[in-house]
Amino acid sequence: MTDKAAEKAAIKAERLKAFLAAEAERLGFCALAITAPDPGPDVAERLARFVELERHGSMQWLEETSARRADPKTLWPEVGSVIMLAMNYGPDTNPMANLEQKSSANISVYARNRDYHDLIKGKLKELAGKFASRSGGDVKVFVDTAPVMEKPLARSAGLGWIGKHTNLVSRSHGSWLFLASIFTTVVLDPDTAEVDHCGSCRACLDACPTNAFPAPYQIDARRCISYLTIENKDAIPHEFRTAIGNRIYGCDDCLAACPWNKYAQVAHEAKLVARDDLQSPPLIDFLAMDDASFRTFFSGSPVKRIGRDRFMRNVLIAAGNSADQTLVPACKALLSDAAPLVRGAAVWALSQLLDPEEMHSLAASFGTDPDDGVADEWRIALKGKV
């Protein structure tokens, strides 16, 4: 390439970047940066170790896609650059305040309004479409569900660093960020990777109610309340039930503990600001939900993804932790639910709310549950009780 041609190409690349930044801001993203299609040093090894130690639990898809995940070029050989974007979903109230209101449910901040996958995907497609027609390159857009290592790529692009809680933290926006990417065949000038600013802080590690961090920068998803309440399809292991408290969908404790949130802003996107009825919803309202009312109430919300039975399992764990006797009749009604997952959680909830004699007479009136898992819940609930 001649000097003149090189200069022209550089100007075009600069203009494309300026265009991307302006359009991203217009669409409500709070940051955009470019990286080469390389998630960074040791990432493949770290992912392999995570899977080898089975820290992904039942998220089989993480294991199955690990080769594509660790290398964007395996996912799409033609990719030249990755455009990383962040969208702020900062809460407008203290997300921890709710945890003390034991008769109410705590839904994690990211799930208190619209599903971010749908919201961000639409915006990404619009941005990528305009970029493709300006640049002449091909594009693919990803948010969360594709085998893309969004955090390491965002770190390489300079959007933030991977904190000890294993999520991306930004000096200008704190921890409340969704990540998304546009893969393109166009080769753009990469931005500079961010460095670690955790220092000697360990606030997030100490905040975790279930000790899900075997070491700083490592998570055991099997112990994380987000995994236990969202990804896990089975009964929640007994050892975590009390620690879950009233968290019925996800958990924010490690994010909320981060001192860098002093720079966080409240979400600008109206569809990410908490719905009034999801700020601190009474457990009693949820305990009465059937499939139809669940679907209507959570229409457009990420909560809908887990389905009514898993949701009800989580609500019953919170009911068991509530010490609220007024919830007993609703929990009793769920002992006859069609779903064993719900019946089993109802047994546990009642074992926490009722005294031993009441629990025994309840067991006598129900007889033996035909499902082995629920029968086990009864056995455990009655063990050690007179």
**What does 50 interact with, of ligand SF4, ligand B12, none (CB < 5 to 8 A by kind)?**
ligand B12
How far is residue 232 from each of residues 40, 229, 269, 302, 341, measured CA to CA in Å?
Answer: 30, 6, 30, 15, 12
**What does 179 interact with, of ligand SF4, ligand B12, none (CB < 5 to 8 A by kind)?**
ligand B12
Name the residue whose CB lies closest to ligand SF4.
163
Rg of the chain over CA atoms, in angstroms? 23
Dist CA 113 CA 50 (whole Å): 31
Give, as ranges, the residues between 116 and 145 that touch ligand SF4 (CB under 6 A). none
- Interface with ligand SF4 (CB under 6 A), residue from 47, 75, 254, 339: 254
Residues 310/341, Cβ–Cβ less than 8 Å: yes
Location of structure tokens 């208190």:
112
Using CB under 6 A as the criterion, which residues of the chain lie in contact with ligand B12 when the complex forms? 40-41, 43, 46-47, 50, 59, 62, 108, 110, 143-144, 148-152, 155, 162, 165-168, 175, 177-179, 217, 219, 221, 224, 226-227, 231, 250-252, 254-255
Q: Is 248 in the site for ligand SF4 (CB under 6 A)?
A: no
**What does 152 interact with, of ligand B12, ligand SF4, none (CB < 5 to 8 A by kind)?**
ligand B12
User: Of these residues, 138, 144, 191, 324, which one is catalytic?
Assistant: 144
Residues 6+ apart with CB under 8 A from 206: 257
- Interface with ligand SF4 (CB under 6 A), residue from 55, 69, 165, 173: 165
Q: Name the minimum Å distance from CB 259 to ligand SF4.
A: 6
Give 262: exposed, middle or buried? Use CB within 10 Å, 0-12, 13-18, 19+.
Answer: exposed
**What does 202 interact with, of ligand B12, ligand SF4, none (CB < 5 to 8 A by kind)?**
ligand SF4
The verdict on whether 42 is a catalytic residue reads: no
Name the residue whose CB lies closest to ligand B12.
250
Q: Name the minimum Å distance from CB 199 to ligand B12.
A: 15
Q: Name the minimum Å distance from CB 108 to ligand SF4.
A: 8
Q: Is 107 in the site for ligand SF4 (CB under 6 A)?
A: no
Q: From edge to edge, which strands make up the β-sheet containing 31-35?
A: 31-35, 81-88, 177-184, 139-142
Composition of the chain by helix, strand, coil, percent to 5: 50, 10, 40
Give backbone dihedrals phi and psi of 245, rounded to 5 degrees, phi first.
Answer: 60, -125
Q: What residues are labeled active site?
A: 144
